C-alpha cells in the first residue's frame, strides 16, 4: 500500500492526501516532520514533506506525486483524457504553485509566525503575488473548476495555496487578491465544503495551535 509521509498542518501534504482520498486510492498516513538528517534525506532529498513511499521507492515533490498518481491510473482521474487538456490543467497547477504558493511562502514567517521577513523579500512577494493572481485570473477557466468542468490537480493546488496566499497578502500588504475574482471565491467556497477537504481541514485545525506555537518559538527565538 502507498504510504504518505507528512503532517496535517502541511498544505503540500494535504494536497496529496486530498488527491488520494478523492481518487479513492487506499494509503497509509505516516506522521513525518521534515528534517535534514542523512536518513531522512535518503528518502526526501531536499528534506521536505510530503513524500510518497511506493513499492518501488520514494517520490518527492508534490506536483510530481500528483502526476504519478494520475499515471498509476488507479481510482478517479483528476486530469482530463485529452493530452492538450491535461497539459492545460498541469500548467494551471504549476502556475499556482510557482507564482502564488511560493511567493506567499516566502512571507509565512511574518504573516503567521511572528517572525520578521526582510523588506526586499516582502516587496518581491507582493509584486509576484499580484502577477500570480493576475495569471490565474487570465488563465483559469472557473467553470466551475480551475481547468474546466472537472476537478483536477489544478484545483488541488488551488485549494491548498490560494487561501494561504490571500491571507499573506491581507495580513502584510492590506490587499484583497481575490476581490475581483468572484468565480475563484465561489470555487474556494465550493471546495472547502468537499467532504474530504473538510476532514483534512478538521485534522489540520486540531494541529494548528501547537504548530503555530512551535513556529513562533522558533522565529521569535531566532530574533
Ligand X SMILES: N[C@@H](CCC(=O)N[C@@H](CS)C(=O)NCC(=O)O)C(=O)O
Comparison of 19 and 49: residue with beta carbon closer to ligand X:
49
Of the pair 62, 181, the CB lying nearest ligand X is at 62
Which of residues 62 and 152 has its CB atom nearest to ligand X in the complex?
Answer: 62
Task: Provide the minimum distance between the beta carbon of 110 and ligand X in the complex, in angstroms, as a whole number.
Answer: 16
Q: Which residues bind ligand X (CB under 6 A)?
A: 10-12, 34, 47-50, 61-63
- Alpha helices by DSSP H, listed for 44-152, are 62-72, 83-96, 102-105, 108-113, 119-139
Tell me how far, at minimum, the Cβ of 179 lies from ligand X, in Å. 27
Question: Least Å distance between CB 34 and ligand X?
Answer: 4
User: Which residues fall within 8 angstroms of residue 24, CB to CB, at 6 or more apart?
Assistant: 75, 76
| Of 153 and 181, CB closest to ligand X | 153
- Judged by beta carbon, residue 104 or residue 169, the one nearer ligand X is 104
Shortest approach of ligand X to residue 93 CB, angstroms?
A: 11
In the structure grid, which three cell numbers stand for residue 70, read together?
494520475
Spatial separation of the C-alpha atoms in residues 31 and 174, rounded to whole Å: 35
d(CA 93, CA 213): 31
DSSP state of 61: S
**Least distance to ligand X, CB of residue 88, Å:** 20
Closest CA to 57 of 43, 74, 73, 38: 43
Q: How many other C-beta atoms lie within 10 A of the C-beta of residue 192? A: 12
Residue whose C-alpha cell reads 494551471 in the numeric block: 92
Amino acid at each position: 500500500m502507498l504510504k504518505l509521509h507528512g503532517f496535517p498542518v502541511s498544505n503540500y501534504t494535504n494536497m496529496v492526501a486530498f488527491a488520494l482520498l478523492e481518487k479513492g486510492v487506499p494509503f497509509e498516513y505516516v506522521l513525518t516532520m521534515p528534517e535534514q538528517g542523512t536518513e531522512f534525506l535518503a528518502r526526501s532529498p531536499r528534506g521536505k514533506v510530503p513524500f510518497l513511499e511506493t513499492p518501488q521507492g520514494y517520490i518527492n515533490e508534490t506536483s510530481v506525486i500528483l502526476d504519478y498518481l494520475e499515471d498509476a491510473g488507479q481510482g478517479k482521474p483528476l486530469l482530463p483524457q485529452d493530452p492538450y487538456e491535461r497539459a492545460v490543467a498541469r500548467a494551471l497547477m504549476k502556475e499556482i504553485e510557482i507564482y502564488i504558493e511560493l511567493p506567499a511562502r516566502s512571507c509565512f514567517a511574518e504573516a503567521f509566525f511572528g517572525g520578521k521577513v526582510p523588506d526586499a523579500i516582502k516587496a518581491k512577494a507582493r509584486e509576484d503575488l499580484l502577477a500570480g493572481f493576475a495569471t490565474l485570473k487570465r488563465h483559469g477557466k472557473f467553470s466551475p473548476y480551475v481547468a474546466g468542468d472537472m476537478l483536477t490537480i489544478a484545483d488541488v493546488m488551488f485549494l491548498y495555496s490560494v487561501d494561504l496566499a490571500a491571507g499573506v497578502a491581507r495580513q502584510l500588504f492590506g490587499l484583497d487578491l481575490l476581490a475581483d475574482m468572484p468565480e475563484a471565491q465561489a470555487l474556494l467556497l465550493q471546495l472547502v465544503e468537499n467532504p474530504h477537504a473538510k476532514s483534512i481541514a478538521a485534522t489540520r485545525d486540531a494541529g494548528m495551535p501547537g504548530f503555530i506555537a512551535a513556529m513562533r518559538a522558533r522565529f521569535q527565538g531566532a530574533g
